[in-house]
Amino acid sequence: MIALVLVGASGRMGRAIEDAARASGDFTIKSRFGRDDPIPVAADAASWAGPGEVVVEFSSPAGAVAAARACAAFGAGLVSGTTGLSVEDEEELERAATRVPVLRAANFSLGVLALRRALGAALDVLPSGWDVEIVERHHRGKLDSPSGTALQLARDVGERRGIPEPALRHGRVGRAGPRPESEIGMHALRGGNWVGDHTVLMAGPGEWLELRHVAQDRGAFAHGVLSATRFVVTAAPGLYNLEDVV
């Protein structure tokens, strides 16, 4: 049995992960933290995880940073899924990863991992002049835009084309002018209870191609999170992603 500490436990993802963990039978929930439960800083905190245990964090940038610091202090592994982290926040997680295993992913769905690989295969074939636009849809409660997954997809396109930080065009308004070849259009739609929907459109002369992934419920992420947790519990200190699990 793997003992889990859930940070963001009463949120949408926290509840989906707890449901999946209970159904799988090889996890116990040691404790739960939310916005109003301070994450421990003292080494005698019985409610926090230690070596051989894993903290699963889907909360907020502040929650991710506090969880990373506490994992590094107490020797627990960390699986982190919060999106919208600043560069400084990401550096905090990288610092923790020098002491404990930390697995970060902007999207824990295996379908999205397959989408990223399919995108890479398509870009290997298509000339660099093909225009790329990314459209993402999420529920009305999502705080960060565009989604971490949409930004990851844009970075994937940039890496494939030898542009580490591709220029993003967030929507278009007014006389936006002709489209520069190198920009990536980014369009974030918000409404209702869309769980997560990402489309990459590639348009060339006389033809276009569309790759799309739709998460229908949060179980799509929760199963990837549990696989990541099984990986982290025995991993050496370091920064990992979902590719390492698959």
Q: Which residues contact 15 (CB under 8 A, 6 or more apart)?
A: 9
Subset of 206-245 contacting ligand NAD (CB under 6 A): 221
Binding mask 173-212 for ligand NAD (x = CB under 6 A): ----------------------------------------
- Asked if 170 interacts with ligand NAD (CB under 6 A), we say no
**Residue 170 known to be catalytic:** no
Specify the residue, 141 or 180, whose C-beta has the smaller distance to ligand NAD.
Answer: 141
Q: Are 4 and 209 in contact (CB under 8 A)?
A: no
**Would you tell me how many other CB atoms lie within 10 Å of the CB of residue 211?**
17
**Residue 142 known to be catalytic:** yes
**Phi, psi (degrees; rounded to nearest 5) at 217:** -150, 170
Please give the C-alpha separations between residue 87 and each of 17, 62, 91, 163, in angstroms, as whole numbers. 26, 13, 6, 19
Q: How many CA atoms lie within 13 A of 142 on its CB side?
A: 24
Please give the C-alpha separations between residue 23 and each of 20, 186, 217, 222, in angstroms, as whole numbers. 5, 37, 16, 11
- Asked if 24 interacts with ligand NAD (CB under 6 A), we say no
d(CA 80, CA 64): 7
> Contact with ligand NAD (CB under 6 A): which of 2, 6, 49, 59?
59
Total residues contacting ligand NAD by CB under 6 A comes to 25
Binding mask 90-119 for ligand NAD (x = CB under 6 A): ---------------xxxx-----------
Catalytic pick among 138, 198, 213, 223: 138
Stretch of residues binding ligand NAD (CB under 6 A), selected from 27-35, 47-55, 154-162, 173-181: 27-35
Residues contributing to the site for ligand NAD (CB under 6 A): 7-8, 10-14, 33-35, 58-60, 62-63, 66, 81-84, 105-108, 221
